[in-house]
Amino acid sequence: MVPLSWYMVLSMIVFAIGVFGFLARRNIIIMFMSIELMLNGVNINLIALSHYLQDMRGQILAFFVIAVAAAEAAIGLAIVIALFRNKATAHVDEIKEMQG
Amino acid sequence: MIPQLFFIYFAFAITGLSLLVVTRKNPVHSVLWMLLLFFHIASLYLFLNAEFMAAMQVIVYAGGILVLFLFVVLLLNLREELRIGKYIGAGPTGFTFALALLVVVIMSLRSFVAAPPGIYSIDLIKSETHAKILGKLMYTEFLYPFEITSLILLVAIIGAIVLAKRRLKT
């Protein structure tokens, strides 16, 4: 039997890699992929807890996380397309109209 | 012993693949590594007796979201992408922040106390099948959140069309 804490450490590692990718990468599409990575880390944690605590609510929460991730990807990529139309760039350090 | 070895293989594969996703210079390579990562995560779900979630992972993530990403990557100017540096100036700060977050949460894991186990034991799931139990719960106890999820997806569809469509010249 694999201990529960192994799964929690694995999910934290995936989440931290996602945080790193979101904060450090220049390309906005890779930043969106890092968000997906973070959501997957949370899903691993939820499903492992659901299995070890013998409660289905964790898996239902993971199901809703997947639905929200799909919605978020659709909206985010539409924003990226609108950005391409206006600025023709995918680099976050070239988008600085908002800083006043 | 076999389950531990199995888990160790998947843990190292998932960690390495996530690192590959965030460090590759070519976004197409990143998306393809992420495809492999999602299949590994789906196998981990199978290992946790959650076969419906594994199917959802493959269908929604690998079949839907990644194809969407691949289409948007086609818009990129790959030649410029390969020439310019992949990290912004705040990259080391981001690395330090992520490492600090990892250390703090792993240290806090020692004080984790598990709740008493619920009624959905492995034998019950095996006799009833996983999808049936999940569907029963989803359509009775969690019906209201389920309907709200459908509303979220509708809003996402409309929002994506409104954001991505070309402005009409009046």
User: How does pLDDT run along chain A (100 residues), one tens digit per residue?
Assistant: 888 889 999 999 999 999 999 999 888 889 999 999 999 999 999 999 999 998 888 899 999 999 999 999 999 999 888 888 887 777 888 877 777 5
pLDDT in tens, B105-161: 999 988 888 888 888 888 888 888 888 999 999 999 999 999 999 999 999 999 999
Query: Which residues from chain B sit within 8 angstroms of residue A63, using beta carbons?
Result: 53, 56, 134, 138
Nearest by CB to B90, which of A6, A23, A78? Answer: A23
Yes or no, beta carbons of A29 and B105 under 8 Å apart:
no
Q: What is the 3-state secondary structure (H, E, C) of A3-37?
A: CHHHHHHHHHHHHHHHHHHHHHECEHHHHHHHHHH
CB-CB contact of A44 with A67 (8 Å): no
Contacts with A, B 58-87, CB within 8 Å: 60-61, 64-65, 68-69, 72-73, 75-76, 81, 84-87
* Bridge partners of residue B87, in order along the sequence: A25
Residue closest to A21 by CA, chosen among A3, A5, A41: A41
d(CA B126, CA A41): 26
Give me chain B's average pLDDT, please. 89
Answer yes or no: is pLDDT of B11 > 70.
yes
Number of domains in chain A: 1
Q: B155 — contact with chain A (CB < 8 Å)?
A: yes
Q: B54 — contact with chain A (CB < 8 Å)?
A: no
Q: What is the CA radius of gyration of chain A?
A: 17
Tell me the pTM. 0.91
A:B CB pairs within 8 Å: 225
CATH number of A11's domain: 1.10.287.3510
Yes or no, beta carbons of B91 and A24 under 8 Å apart:
yes
Yes or no, beta carbons of B99 and A16 under 8 Å apart:
yes
CB-CB contact of A13 with B15 (8 Å): yes
Instruction: Identify the domain containing residue A71 by its residue range.
Output: 4-99
What pLDDT was estimated at residue B124? Answer: 84
Ramachandran quadrant class, A89 (left: phi over 0; alpha: psi -120 to 50; beta: rest): beta
> Could you state, in order of their start, the residue ranges of all structural domains in chain B?
1-78, 119-170
Nearest CA in chain A to B78: A90
Burial annotation B63-79 (CB, 10 A radius, 16+ → b, else e): eebbebbbebbeebeee
* CATH among 3.40.50.11860, 1.20.120.1200, 3.40.1350.10, 3.90.470.20 for B1-78: 1.20.120.1200
CB proximity list for B154: less than 8 A, separation 6 or greater = none
Residue B42 — pLDDT band, cuts 50, 70, 90?
Answer: very high
Residue closest to B134 by CA, chosen among B58, B52, B41, B60: B52
Query: Which residues from chain B sit within 8 angstroms of residue A90, using beta carbons?
Result: 75-76, 81
DSSP string, B74-126: TTS-HHHHHHS-SB-TTHHHHHHHHHHHHHHHHHHGGG--PPPP-S--HHHHH
The three-class DSSP label of residue A91 is strand
